[in-house]
Amino acid sequence: MKRVHSIKDLRDLVSAWQGDGLRVGLVPTMGALHIGHLSLVHHIARHVDRVIVSIFVNPMQFGAHEDLGAYPRTLDADCAQLADLPCDCVYAPPADEMYPAGFKTQVDVNDISVDYEGANRPGHFTGVATVVCKLLLQSRADAAIFGEKDFQQLAVIRRFVQDLDIECDILEGPLVREADGLACSSRNQYLDTRQRRIAGHFNRRLQDLVQAAADGGDLRACEQACAKALLQDGFDKVDYVTIVDPDTLEPRTGALKSDARVVAAARLGTTRLLDTMAIPVAP
Ligand code: AMP
């Protein structure tokens, strides 16, 4: 497995592979790898011949009061985890390779970026879309994969890739959970023992919501019952629990008429947790 740190070295490697007729896949991450990230590597390896994992803690997607400084940076441990996987290259650019002096351009995706995470983290999706756009153009990858866990992020990325005519297949990796159902996240390590126990309720409360919605419950009432239960479980704040159209992310109301999805974010202390589940209509 190679480690590269510059755009030039990355492009030389990818050009050589593509010159040999090989398809190249990219797994963008911010490192602190867990089994959710590793599943994306296995998943994309079934679709391409060579896999690159990028590791870059992107300052542009963190708000002024967020955890940029504290975000775990564990490059050597990450590379050790990837060594046993179908990963051919780790691309870990320094910040001034990604954002050299004089950098001015941003990728803004309207509408789909505004609610949910966008409302709670102003500027977040501009940072995500800009860095992912750069990573796709730097690598010239044939395919890239993103997790279902960050469902709105996936929608934002699909939108700008289509709008900007970027030739890259965007794949979705299923959400990977810990044993008690908590969605794996690099931020779970911020939780203390009490918070970690409460966090395990998140997934179960969303399962209850999915069941209630599938049973014909009023969707707004299902959301409210779920948010109330999370607060009773000990969450400090529920940022949103919303049942949305899986394509447009528009909120759904009334009773379930076609497949939907719940997106949710809740806080334990200063740690924000995300979760999401599909809500299929009964056959
Ligand atoms: P991050 O390092 O948090 O930016 O995440 C990098 C990629 O891993 C994104 O596409 C995430 O959606 C994905 N990811 C994060 N957590 C999980 C998980 N629990 N299961 C599957 N994919 C995940």
Ligand 1 pocket mutation pick from 40, 185, 202, 274 by most atoms within 8 angstroms of CB:
40
pTM of the model: 0.97
Query: Regarding beta strands 89-91 and 2-4, do their DSSP bridges make them parallel or antiparallel, or are they unpaired?
Result: parallel
Diameter of the chain measured on Cα atoms: 58
Q: Considering just the CA atoms, what is the radius of gyration of the chain in Å?
A: 19
Q: Which of 37, 43, 124, 201 is catalytic?
A: 37
DSSP H helices, the chain, are 7-19, 35-45, 75-82, 95-98, 117-120, 124-139, 151-163, 193-199, 201-214, 219-233
Atom of ligand 1 nearest to the CA of 174: 21
pLDDT digits (tens, 9 = 90+) for 95-107: 999 999 999 999 9
Q: Is the predicted pLDDT of residue 13 greater than 90, yes or no?
A: yes
Active-site annotation holds for 5: no
Predicted pLDDT at 112: 95
Confidence class of residue 85 from pLDDT cuts 50, 70 and 90? Answer: very high
d(CA 118, CA 120): 6
Which residue puts its alpha carbon closest to atom 7 of ligand 1?
29
d(CA 246, CA 250): 8
Q: Is 29 in the pocket of ligand 1 (CB under 6 A)?
A: yes
Residues 116, 242: contact at Cβ < 8 Å?
yes
Q: Is 40 in the pocket of ligand 1 (CB under 6 A)?
A: yes
Confidence class of residue 282 from pLDDT cuts 50, 70 and 90? Answer: confident
Q: Is the predicted pLDDT of residue 283 greater than 90, yes or no?
A: no
Computed from CA positions of residues 210, 211, 212, 213, in that sequence, does the dihedral angle turn out positive or negative?
Answer: positive
pLDDT digits (tens, 9 = 90+) for 109-148: 999 999 999 999 999 999 999 999 999 999 999 999 999 9
